């Protein structure tokens, strides 16, 4: 793997049956590239949480993944409502998930904390009414 | 105990036989909330839950669970079955409550 590999995924809104497909695809590709299982698991968990948040909270969006021998960098950009209070959103247990998705098992308020826990770096840029971009890095 | 060995004990009904059935089950994990399971389920665990929808299959794949056990006779919907087949995830089912199902696996593991 000499050069960086770049992957782009469009995440469609409100489709829970397809949510997780981008993350699963990335997982498969990382496996084939021979990335260590530990790093693959971190990327899979963090990216899935971000992907599903885009579906539930932000009407979908776009994910770009950049893979180099040193690290995996994920950029999740949406044009959703934005996050009014990042500190509150990052708290374990905080969730504004509606009932219909809670019935599917979402809404524990652990997605963002998982993203933080399983990545080496995480940055949230958000503007109310404009959207949210979350950048996460996992070192190999 | 491998996933195959667990299925051979016939404690549970086999909904889908996955790909990697020779992997060793290390632990049992119980939780119905997806992002708690995502963050806490150990890799190679047998995950017992009542949530039989497609998101459970996605989480099991991405968090590297060894297999999923749907307890309480909860339904495994069609989309979930299809996804389990596609992703090669072993899905088992039982009428037993979560605790009893998990205890059985635990006893088999610690024999
Ligand atoms: N991309 C986003 N756009 C707008 N709001 C978001 C976004 N991601 C998260 N949030 C807000 O942050 C809250 C916490 O997110 P988090 O992922 O931790 O929990 P959740 O999605 O509500 O539940 P869980 O992930 O445990 O199923 C959400 O309920 C939502 O209010
Ligand atoms: Mg979430």
Tell me the per-residue pLDDT of B77-109, one tens digit each, with 9 for 90 and over.
999 999 999 999 999 999 999 999 999 999 999
The b-or-e profile of B61-88 (16+ CB within 10 A means b, else e) is bbbbbbbbbbbbebebeeebbebbbebe
How confident is the model over A83-98, as a mean pLDDT?
A: 97
Which residues place a Cβ less than 5 A from the ion ligand 2?
A 53, 111
Q: Does B51 touch chain A (CB under 8 A)?
A: yes
Of the partner residues A19, A20, A110, the one whose CB lies closest to the CB of residue B36:
A110
User: For position A46, what pLDDT does the model report?
Assistant: 98
Neighbouring C-beta atoms of residue B100, cutoff 10 Å: 13
Task: From chain A, pick out residues whose CB is under 8 angstroms from the CB of B70.
Answer: none
Global pTM value: 0.95
User: For position A2, what pLDDT does the model report?
Assistant: 61
Q: Which structural domain, as residue segments, surrounds residue B25?
A: 3-110
Q: Which atom of ligand 1 is closest in space to residue A110's alpha carbon?
A: 26
Of the partner residues B33, B56, B79, the one whose CB lies closest to the CB of residue A108:
B33
> How many percent of chain A have pLDDT more than 70?
99
Q: Does B74 touch chain A (CB under 8 A)?
A: no
Q: pLDDT tier at A24 (50, 70, 90 boundaries)?
A: very high
Residues A57 and A49: their CA atoms lie apart, in Å, by 12
Residue A99 tokens read as 């009932």
We report the CATH number of the domain holding residue B36 as 3.40.1390.20
Q: Calculate the average pLDDT of chain B.
A: 97
Tell me the per-residue pLDDT of B29-56, one tens digit each, with 9 for 90 and over.
999 999 999 999 999 999 999 999 999 9
Ligand 1 mean position, distance from CA B99 (Å): 29
Which site among B56, B62, B63 would you substitute to test the A interface, given the most A Cβ atoms closer than 10 Å to its Cβ?
Answer: B62
Q: Which atom of ligand 1 is closest in space to residue A101's alpha carbon?
A: 27
Which domains are seen in chain A, by residue range? Answer: 5-139 (3.30.565.10)
How far CA B21 is from CA of A80, A110, B18, B28, B62, in Å, comes to: 41, 30, 6, 16, 17
**Residue A133: beta bridge partners?**
A77, A125
Please say if the pLDDT value at position A16 is more than 80.
no
ipTM over 0.95: no
Tell me the per-residue pLDDT of A63-89, one tens digit each, with 9 for 90 and over.
999 999 999 999 999 999 999 999 999
Which site among B54, B58, B78 would you substitute to test the A interface, given the most A Cβ atoms closer than 10 Å to its Cβ?
Answer: B58
Q: In 3D, which of A28, A64, A101, A38 has the Cα closest to residue B55?
A: A101
């Amino acid at each position: 793997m000499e050069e960086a590999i770049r992957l782009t995924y469009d995440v469609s809104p409100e489709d829970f049956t397809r949510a997780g497909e981008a993350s699963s695809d990335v997982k498969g590709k990382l496996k084939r590239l021979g990335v260590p299982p530990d790093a693959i698991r971190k990327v899979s968990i963090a990216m899935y949480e971000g992907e599903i948040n885009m579906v539930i909270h932000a009407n979908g969006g776009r994910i770009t993944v950049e893979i180099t021998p040193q690290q995996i960098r994920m950029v999740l950009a949406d044009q959703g409502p934005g996050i009014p209070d990042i500190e509150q959103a990052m708290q374990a247990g905080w969730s504004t998930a509606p009932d219909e998705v809670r019935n599917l098992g979402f809404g524990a308020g652990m997605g963002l904390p998982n993203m933080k826990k399983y990545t080496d770096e995480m940055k949230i840029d958000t503007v109310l009414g404009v959207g949210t971009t979350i950048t996460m890095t996992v070192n190999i | 105990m491998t996933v195959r060995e667990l299925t051979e004990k016939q404690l549970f009904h086999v909904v889908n036989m996955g790909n990697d059935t020779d992997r060793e089950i290390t632990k049992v994990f119980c939780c119905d909330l997806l992002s708690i399971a995502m963050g806490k389920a150990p890799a190679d665990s047998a995950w017992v839950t009542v949530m039989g929808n497609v998101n459970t299959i996605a989480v099991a794949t991405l968090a590297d669970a060894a297999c999923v056990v749907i307890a309480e006779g909860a339904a495994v919907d069609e989309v979930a079955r299809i996804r389990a087949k596609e992703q090669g995830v072993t899905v088992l089912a039982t009428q037993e409550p979560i605790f009893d199902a998990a205890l059985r696996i635990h006893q088999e593991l610690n024999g």
